[in-house]
Structure 1
Amino acid sequence: MILTITLDKQRFDFDTSLVKDLSIPLEFNGSQPRVYGVNRAGSHTYEGDGFIGDTRKGGACNFEKLTLVPHCNGTHTECIGHITHKRFSVQEQLKDSLIPCTLISILPENAMNSSEDYDPPKEKGDAFVSRSALEKALKPVSKLFLKALIIRTLPNDHTKLSRNYSEQKPPFLSLDAMNFITELGVEHILVDLPSIDRAYDQGKLNTHRLFWNVKPGSHETTAHSLLNKTITEMIYAADEIVDGSYLLNLQIAPFVSDAAPSRPLLYPLIKA
């Protein structure tokens, strides 16, 4: 099916059959990415009152109990409720369905060799996505396609599909990089990292707070907090998906929770 959309008086076509999936399939009890040392996501046969939810064990149908931590067991989208006392749910805060977006590839740099900042202070072995790298990659990009920003880090390989991030120090975003992203007016950010903040940052989550405009150390929103912005982490953008402009359909499970498993879908655009 070929559809046409109009963005700022410009018409674009997109073919719904050419969709690109950025989510990591969550294989319960199988190969899967995880972070912070949490248990693997799992599935277990439900049994009770003589019922067995497994056809292989004589049950009439398959009936499983699933366990997971959305923030740690694969591709997920989170809202401001991730850092606030007030409980906001991502299915209520995500208002957009088809979102103009840009995919870029960035090589994280040695944080200690950069003049850019982070809080808590940078440590040996830290690598981050810098403002300078973002400025270079986004220089030719129209603001029309910056409602959402997808960052693919390099090198990019299939180990991201099953990586245990507790065994290494994954890259994150510098504070300068996040300030630049907010200056651009980006409302949805997607990364192939377990967090936009350093994995162990004393619980400060300062790039999260910058993105949602929540004061450092605070768990309260203000009239200036940006409630409808989302962060999607642990995506995987295969090399075959080229850098450029797309239409994003950010699908999420309708969990009443600050985060939910998600399936970001990309549609390549052609100017009509």
Structure 2
Amino acid sequence: MALSFRRYCRLTFLYLSMLITLEHLGRKYRANLNKGIDLSSVLGDAKKELRAWHVPSVLKEPVKGDGWVGSVKDGSPVNFYDIRFNPHGNGTHTESYGHISPERESVNQQFKEFHTLAYLAEVVPEDKNGDQVITLGSLRGHIKKWNFESLILKTGNYPEGHDFSNTNPPYLEPELITFVKEMGVRHLLLDLPSVDRESDGGKVQAHKLFWNFPAQPREGCTITEMIRVPAGTAEGLYLLNLQVAPFHNDASPSRPLIFHLEELS
């Protein structure tokens, strides 16, 4: 069977195989669906989950009532737990322009492109006025063809369980945001807690530039933060399957999966 992509992509499943071939802008690629790379961080394990913005670790506790505790250890036949977390501060998450809008537009309503072509680039932050900044210059040399809709940025090697709070992490300069937007990037993924500076006086300039907010918001465009790119993951073109939990909220936990593309012609 064949699935249509934006920009005239065609995805063809090979019979009784987990290999797929992809035709995009006149070029053919192959991907192995058995060799996906998970870019998400674990939620609910304090030793592994990424955190930011001074939020506590994910809270999990059994429901209690009428002498009953929803835990097998406490005699219940099943585990029945409440979970409390903040999607912006706990783990990998995807957000819509509702993050900076009074209407809090839902990412579940905005996000409609589950499979896109993505380029993974490993960029090195530059020192600027005491900050670590991801500049347009640091990105330019990595990409020769802008034939994709999703851009994945690896900026460092942050360990499992890392807390970005009050560390002034690297952030993206406005010129980079403007450039990638003009090049047609609709989905931006990065291993940082924000595209903006941790303390920027509430400007959120990079967010506003990427979403062209408030003038003419870019419908369907997303930012995914606090991904985790495994060591040894090569730069290059990938098939991205961005899985976003269907929360009716401006942001939601997500699980980006990427599959390396081998060019056939």
Compute the TM-score of the two structures, normalised by the length of structure 2. Answer: 0.89
Amino acid at match of 2:44: E
- In the TM superposition, what are the counterparts of 1:189-208 in structure 2 within 5 Å? 189-208=188-207
Partner of 1:245: 237
Unaligned runs of 5+ in 1: 113-124, 215-220
- In the TM superposition, what are the counterparts of 1:101-250 in structure 2 within 5 Å? 101-112=118-129, 125-138=130-143, 140=144, 142-145=145-148, 147-154=149-156, 156-157=157-158, 159=159, 161-214=160-213, 221-222=214-215, 224-250=216-242
CA RMSD after TM alignment: 1.4
* Separation (CA, whole Å) in 1 of partners of 2:86 and 2:45: 12
Partner of 1:50: 67
Amino acid at match of 1:50: G
Describe the SS at the equivalent of 2:223.
strand
Change (3 A) 1:82 1:70: same
Compare 25-34 and 174-183 and name the one that shifted more: 25-34
Partner of 1:118: none
Task: Say which structure is richer in helix.
Answer: 1
In 2, are the aligned partners of 1:149 and 1:186 still within 8 Å (CA)? yes
Aligned-residue offset at 1:95: 1.2
In 2, are the aligned partners of 1:28 and 1:42 still within 8 Å (CA)? no
Partner of 2:85: 68
In 2, are the aligned partners of 1:35 and 1:164 still within 8 Å (CA)? yes
Partner of 2:8: none
Aligned-residue offset at 1:165: 1.4
Greater RCO, 1 or 2 (C-alpha within 8 Å, sep 6+) = 1
Aligned-residue offset at 1:31: 4.0
In 2, are the aligned partners of 1:29 and 1:42 still within 8 Å (CA)? no
Aligned-residue offset at 1:233: 0.2
**Identical-residue share of aligned pairs (%):** 36
In 1, are the aligned partners of 2:44 and 2:57 still within 8 Å (CA)? no
Compare 20-29 and 254-263 and name the one that shifted more: 20-29
Amino acid at match of 2:211: W
1:77 to 80, 84, 94: 94
Unaligned runs of 5+ in 2: 1-17
Aligned-residue offset at 1:111: 1.4
Compute the TM-score of the two structures, normalised by the length of structure 1. Answer: 0.87
What is the number of equivalent residue pairs in this alignment? 247
In 2, are the aligned partners of 1:28 and 1:43 still within 8 Å (CA)? no
Describe the SS at the equivalent of 2:189.
strand
Describe the SS at the equivalent of 1:209.
helix
